[in-house]
Amino acid sequence: MKDYTILIYGRSGSGKSTSLRNLPQEKIYYLNVEGKDLPYRHSKLNKHVKPTTLTQVQESLKEAVTDDSVEIIIVDSITMLGEILAYNAFVKDSGDSRGGWLHLRDWMVNMIEFAKKSEKTFIFIGLEMDIMNEKEYVTETRPKMVGSLKDSLSSHFTTVLRSIVRDVDGEIKYQFQTNRTSEAFNTECKSPMGMFEPYIDNDMALVLQRMNKYYSDE
């Protein structure tokens, strides 16, 4: 399996965590920042930790990338990581609020860069938010994040998938939106040209298969 760094985001109940159900559990290190119950059987996960501090997150990431039995590292969610753990560590009790927010942004960006440079596949999960673009008077949908990263989080990823629930010919389907479409133009999602159709099944095992084929055919 090749190493990728992917961001999945969507509303609560849109199937973000469920999309991981067919991945090889014995190869997964799951950082459950939200401390929630997973919506599928997960007794065979290589490692399932529920960090409550930023220090524990750092220790877990170091452990995961140096463990040869781990191929996929999941951070669920990057939203909670920023809003709670990083905020508490850098901003909450800081005497310099501006400096605290800068430290938070730098830590989050460095974590993503750390993931990119590792030899593991990283999957970051996040919530979504709607924000008004006052210049163009349109509502935009993007990954939810605190601080200045709320405007630029997607820029740090090559692949950003939006988890959605759609009515397809009268049937409710859980899918990923892979790029902007005419019906959902003001949403932040992207993938390399020609890798996916605009909407695909909500299944990260199939996503990784498609990514492997795409890059092996180069």
Domain ranges (residues) in the chain: 5-216
pLDDT digits (tens, 9 = 90+) for 85-96: 999 999 988 777
Distance CA 173, CA 52 (A): 34
Residue 48 clears pLDDT 80, i.e. is over it? yes
| Long-range contact set of residues 118-121: C-beta below 8 Å, sequence gap at least 24 | 118/3, 118/65, 118/73, 119/3, 119/65, 120/3, 120/64, 120/65, 120/70, 120/71, 120/72, 120/73, 121/1, 121/2, 121/3, 121/4, 121/5, 121/6, 121/71, 121/72, 121/73, 121/208
- pLDDT for res 168: 87
Q: What is the mean pLDDT of residues 4-33?
A: 95
CATH architecture classification, 5-216:
3-Layer(aba) Sandwich (3.40)
**pLDDT tens, position by position, 91-127:** 988 777 789 999 999 999 999 999 999 999 999 999 9
The pLDDT-based confidence of 140 (bands split at 50, 70, 90) is confident
Q: What is the pLDDT of residue 1?
A: 58
Phi, psi of 111 (to 5 degrees): -65, -45
182 three-class SS: coil
* Residue 218 pLDDT: 61
